[in-house]
Amino acid sequence: MSMKAIVKEAGEYGSLVIKDVKIPEVKSNEVLIKIKKTSICGTDVSIYKWTEWAKNTIKTPMIIGHEFVGTIEKLGNGVINFKVGDLVSGEGHVVCGKCRHCITGKQHLCRETLGIGVNQDGVFAQYISIPAKNVWLCGEGISESILSCLDPLGNAVHTALAFDVMGEDVIITGAGPIGLMSIPILKRVGARSIVITDINEYRLNMAKELGATATIDVSKEKISDIFNKLNIKEGFDIGLEMSGSEIAFADMIENMANGGKIAILGILPQNVSINWDKVIFNSLTLKGIYGREMFDTWYKMTVMLQNGMDKEIEKIITHTYHYTDFEKGFKQMMSGESGKIILEWE
Ligand code: NAD
Ligand code: ZN
């Protein structure tokens, strides 16, 4: 039996093609999922563009994609927690299950982590088979479009909740989909102010609509210009780096209050140099964030969505295409004039 899938064929720019491939066999402790919707991640765009990171990481040919929602089509031997027909999404990081972190409930720290759609075939296909331990049973009352974005929303939740933000002044650098998703989360957990920066007018407008306290186009204004207006005396208490830009990161460090805490999700270039005096003498804390906590992040995000945050996250989904039009989706995403972009598989 065959299925359609979007395959990265060769190690070069573009080279994504819809192909007929074999439906994956369902091994023991795996679950076969029929895909309903997927969403396009910046990682997929990096694979499309064949960046340095992609060159060093991706083995072609490979089916790409890791953000999805679907229904369970078939259970492998030994699977007891799910039934055929269940609406599910899934954690894209497959962990070893045996190391010290895995057995102590900190799977997000597993050193053997493999990425679906990165190190093995992904979800831009009509079917995928994944380990049952990676399957997330979707909570009721959440739209399928949002359910296809739980992976990046989980990145936002993991980062925004890395430190206690209640009553704090927070800066987000980068108003990409994940930076935007962080706004409603920070509002829910009681941040005093939420300031977000970008160099993209379209995305800063989206941030305004989502209720950011202030938006700053750093190509035109300085971050510190906002302090007076918001009555921020010493700088930001919490920083969420979500741009991957070393300029943004350096700027954030300059504008932190003493004792400030920074969670870094954005994938910065290697060997970025920063002002260590600021980190050391101002007692800053820097914390790297990778993926989502399994499955604490998934649980919290489901509860927030069911308590009304879904209305705000819905606004971040700006485009939907049928999978046969995936090229349009990638082009739209590369234009920068988008939030999340969904591909439909039915
Ligand atoms: P994105 O690339 O869509 O958004 C990044 C935004 O930063 C863009 O809107 C861009 O215009 C903006 N930007 C560029 N230069 C800037 C500057 N100097 N100041 C402020 N903003 C600037 O990315 P996304 O999908 O929202 O993801 C955010 C980041 O998180 C990316 O770097 C991505 O690679 C990374 N990421 C990391 C993980 C992880 O597990 N650590 C997971 C997912 C994504
Ligand atoms: Zn492990």
Q: pLDDT digit string (tens) for 225-275? A: 999 999 999 999 999 999 999 999 999 999 999 999 999 999 999 899 999
| Closest CA relative to residue 174, chosen from 126, 91, 239, 228 | 239
Q: pLDDT digit string (tens) for 15-69? A: 999 999 999 999 999 999 999 999 999 999 999 999 999 999 999 999 999 999 9
Percent of the chain with pLDDT over 70: 100
Q: Please report the pLDDT score of residue 69 as a whole number.
A: 98
CA distance 13 to 290: 26
- The answer to whether residues 39 and 148 touch, using CB atoms and an 8 Å cutoff, is yes
Mean pLDDT estimate for the chain: 98
Ligand 2 centroid from CA 212, angstroms: 38
138 CB-near residues (< 8 Å, 6+ apart): 69, 87, 88, 89, 147, 302
Ligand 1 centroid from CA 114, angstroms: 22
Q: Please report the pLDDT score of residue 50 as a whole number.
A: 98
Report the nearest-CA residue for atom 31 of ligand 1.
266
CA distance 265 to 178: 9
CB count in 10 Å sphere of residue 78: 10
- The answer to whether residues 236 and 169 touch, using CB atoms and an 8 Å cutoff, is yes
- The answer to whether residues 27 and 149 touch, using CB atoms and an 8 Å cutoff, is no
Report the atom number in ligand 1 closest to the C-alpha of 43.
34
Q: Please report the pLDDT score of residue 297 as a whole number.
A: 98
Give the predicted TM-score (pTM) of the model: 0.98
Q: Is any atom of ligand 1 closer than 6 Å to the C-beta of 42?
A: yes
Q: pLDDT digit string (tens) for 130-152? A: 999 999 999 999 999 999 999 99
Ligand 1 centroid from CA 124, angstroms: 22
